[in-house]
Amino acid sequence: MSAATELERRGERGARGGLDPRTAPAFPVAAARALGDAQLRRNLHHATEVIQAKRARVVGEMPDWQALRDAGEAIRRHTMEHLDRYLEQFEERCVRAGGVVHWARDAAEARGIVVRLVEDAAAREGQRGEDSSAANEVLKIKSMTTEEIQLNPALEAAGFRVYETDLAELIIQLGHDQPSHIVVPALHKNRQQIRELFRREMNLPELGESPEELAEAARRFLRERFLRVPIAVSGANFLIAETGGVCVVESEGNGRMCLTLPRTLITVAGIDKVVPRFRDLEVLLQTLPRSATGERMNPYNSIWTGVRAGDGPEQFHVVLLDNGRTEVLADAEARQTLHCIRCGACQNACPVYRETGGHAYGSVYAGPIGAILTPQLQHMEHAQSLPFASSLCGACYEVCPVKINIPEVLIHLRNRVVKRRTAGLRVVGDPEAWAMRTASTIFRSERRFRAAQRMGRMAERLWERKDKAGEQWVTSLPGPLGGWTATRDLRAMPKETFREWWERRGKKTAQADAGNGTEVGDE
């Protein structure tokens, strides 16, 4: 079997299971299912409110918060405008410091590269002959990028045991669950549910539900693996072009263990993660933790550059992942999507996410950022319902630390979805497109608009019913409009439009003026 086919085979296998935008149900369908889960909604309301309150407190104490947002936006915009240059600079400096840089066009290629690197590392470990079992194991630091490319199933298919070491990701892994939030992947679980999971999976029948006891159980479970397993895979928060360094921020210290103890470290990062200079972190390391977890600073900030003899990993690889990002870069109106620094503040602030949680988005990138990122990473071929999964309320834009105008991008992507759907003659069989075109024709003529108002009133009358107070209401509508009356009534249309009233009043005033010469108002 050629190397390429081998990579493809692994890619195919790796793609099975997990949140896959290509096979996920449309958002309204998945959302309706989530809405039926009362426990889930209680967990979501509680967790998002707690994080939002913490964020509000630490953002509120910053007198220069808006200036920091502006600076963050400027850094990210500049980076994207010169991404090619900064990526090559990062590669050159990283290699100079002893790292190895790999480029992956898509998820399958990235999976193939990581699996091969892990296999090579395992072979080296086997030759050392210290602990043969550990050579088949891999540590993971929380990384949404590796979730995006569905790395774990690919590693498992290649015969490796993968240990997620972030507490939340461990909860997800032990529960055969999926992440529902980019910063707090187990946000949809409450403490009792986590205790039950730990009791079952860690064989701890007496475990209590205090945060201390749960953390202690996870610590014992993980510590032993940190000391044994010689290969780790991480994501990255930032790649620093100027130095070739990589930055990972976290709250638990488990990441630090994975970054320092194993002999081989493989970092998978989207090409959007690059920042030009070390000093750019001055801005982003202020806004990221405050936006993400409501902390002034992350408890653990790890920055490393290549390898150093006798200190940390001996082998260090970076896999730079495109997977659709270059296409996003090419779309001037959607490019700002790549400015995202993955803080998750938009998810916590979103009133839609608050009700449905992350799984309804069918992607590891849920919430407002997911609604714009996922369909683009899918080349606008899948996840087409996501740009519509928003009321355009703007809460996401308001909290974004790099000022991504998510509503603007949502509107742009809606246009791309509609253009694709209605290309050519397809509009004939598309009731929505037909209705929209008809409405536009109506709005382009006062005469047609008046006629439509009259006809609408006549048609609507058929659906009016008198309520107990004697008012006319519509409580049930046919077709797509039934979505309205599924949860709401509709007050019957008035007998007169505003313009009809205006004209009637004008005549009355004119008559009165002609009659006695005094001005008569409308009262």
Partner 1 sequence: MRIALFITCYNDTLFPETGVAVVRVLERLGHEVVFPAGQTCCGQMHWNSGYQEEALPLLPRFVRQFRDAEAVVVPSSSCVAMMREHYPMMAKRLEQRGGHDGLAAEVARLLERVWEFSELLTKRLGVTEVGAYFPQRVTCHASCHGLRSLGLGDGPKSLLRAVRGLELVEIANEERCCGFGGTFAIKNAAVSGAMLEEKMADVLATGAAVCTATDNSCLMHIDGGLHRRRSAVRTMHLAEILASTERVGDAGVREEAVR
Confirm or reject binding of residue 90 to partner 1 (CB under 8 A). Answer: no
- Find the shortest distance in angstroms from Cβ 35 to partner 1: 5
Give the residue with the Cβ less far from partner 1, 288 or 352.
352
* Binding range to partner 1, per CB under 8 A, among 70-78, 191-199, 224-232, 432-440: 432-440
Stretch 397-426 residues interacting with partner 1 (CB under 8 A): 397-398, 408, 411, 414-419
User: 82, 465, 491, 508: which one contacts partner 1 (CB under 8 A)?
Assistant: 491
Closest residue by Cα to residue 250 from 189, 192, 315, 169: 169
Confirm or reject binding of residue 361 to partner 1 (CB under 8 A). Answer: no
- Find the shortest distance in angstroms from Cβ 366 to partner 1: 13
What is the rounded distance in angstroms from the CA atom of residue 201 to the CA atom of residue 213? 15
Confirm or reject binding of residue 394 to partner 1 (CB under 8 A). Answer: yes
Give the residue with the Cβ less far from partner 1, 127 or 440.
440
- Find the shortest distance in angstroms from Cβ 446 to partner 1: 5
Give the residue with the Cβ less far from partner 1, 65 or 300.
65
- Find the shortest distance in angstroms from Cβ 340 to partner 1: 20
Residue type at 493?
M
Give the angle subtended at the CA of 70 by the CAs of 50 and 409, to the nearest 5°.
75
Confirm or reject binding of residue 201 to partner 1 (CB under 8 A). Answer: no
Partners of 234 in the β-ladder: 267
User: 4, 32, 123, 459: which one contacts partner 1 (CB under 8 A)?
Assistant: 32
- Find the shortest distance in angstroms from Cβ 468 to partner 1: 8
Confirm or reject binding of residue 31 to partner 1 (CB under 8 A). Answer: yes
Closest residue by Cα to residue 101 from 109, 113, 91, 110: 91
Confirm or reject binding of residue 507 to partner 1 (CB under 8 A). Answer: no
* Binding range to partner 1, per CB under 8 A, among 157-165, 203-211, 307-315, 483-491: 483-491
What is the rounded distance in angstroms from the CA atom of residue 405 to the CA atom of residue 424? 31
Confirm or reject binding of residue 37 to partner 1 (CB under 8 A). Answer: no
What is the rounded distance in angstroms from the CA atom of residue 168 to the CA atom of residue 430? 43
User: 65, 278, 300, 449: which one contacts partner 1 (CB under 8 A)?
Assistant: 449
* Binding range to partner 1, per CB under 8 A, among 197-205, 246-254, 372-380, 445-453: 445-453
User: 17, 25, 351, 431: which one contacts partner 1 (CB under 8 A)?
Assistant: 351
Q: What is the dihedral of CA 419, 353, 407, 269, to 10 degrees?
A: -80
Count of H-run helices and E-run strands, the chain: 23, 13
Confirm or reject binding of residue 483 to partner 1 (CB under 8 A). Answer: yes
* Matching residue, tokens 């009233």: 501
What is the rounded distance in angstroms from the CA atom of residue 421 to the CA atom of residue 385? 12
Backbone angles phi, psi at 178, to 5 degrees: -130, 145
Give the residue with the Cβ less far from partner 1, 61 or 503.
503
What is the rounded distance in angstroms from the CA atom of residue 189 to the CA atom of residue 174? 13
Confirm or reject binding of residue 86 to partner 1 (CB under 8 A). Answer: no
Give the residue with the Cβ less far from partner 1, 130 or 398.
398
What is the rounded distance in angstroms from the CA atom of residue 450 to the CA atom of residue 456? 10
Element (H, E) at 472: strand 472-474
Q: How many residues at the interface with partner 1, by CB under 8 A?
A: 69
Site string for partner 1, 372-391 (x = CB under 8 A): ---------------xxxxx
* Binding range to partner 1, per CB under 8 A, among 167-175, 287-295, 348-356, 368-376: 348-356
- Find the shortest distance in angstroms from Cβ 25 to partner 1: 13
User: 64, 130, 467, 513: which one contacts partner 1 (CB under 8 A)?
Assistant: 467
Residue type at 298?
N
Give the residue with the Cβ less far from partner 1, 172 or 409.
409
- DSSP calls for 402-438: T---HHHHHHHHHHHHHHHHTSTTGGGG-HHHHHHHH
What is the rounded distance in angstroms from the CA atom of residue 485 to the CA atom of residue 317? 56
User: 8, 9, 13, 28: which one contacts partner 1 (CB under 8 A)?
Assistant: 28
Partners of 238 in the β-ladder: 247
Confirm or reject binding of residue 39 to partner 1 (CB under 8 A). Answer: no
What is the rounded distance in angstroms from the CA atom of residue 190 to the CA atom of residue 228? 31
Confirm or reject binding of residue 427 to partner 1 (CB under 8 A). Answer: no
What is the rounded distance in angstroms from the CA atom of residue 258 to the CA atom of residue 380? 36
Confirm or reject binding of residue 473 to partner 1 (CB under 8 A). Answer: yes
Element (H, E) at 264: strand 264-270
Question: Which pair of tokens denotes residue 416?
Answer: 């791309």
Give the residue with the Cβ less far from partner 1, 265 or 380.
380
| Edge-first strand listing for the sheet containing 100-104 | 100-104, 315-321, 264-270, 231-234, 137-140, 161-164
What is the rounded distance in angstroms from the CA atom of residue 45 to the CA atom of residue 348? 9
Measured over the CA atoms of residue 70, residue 76, residue 77 and residue 82, the dihedral's sign is positive
User: 489, 508, 510, 513: which one contacts partner 1 (CB under 8 A)?
Assistant: 489
Confirm or reject binding of residue 496 to partner 1 (CB under 8 A). Answer: yes
Closest residue by Cα to residue 70 from 283, 295, 342, 241: 283
Residues that bind partner 1 (CB under 8 A): 27-28, 31-32, 35, 41, 351-352, 355-356, 387-395, 397-398, 408, 411, 414-419, 433, 436-437, 439-440, 442-446, 449, 453, 456, 467, 473, 475, 480-481, 483-484, 486-502, 521-523
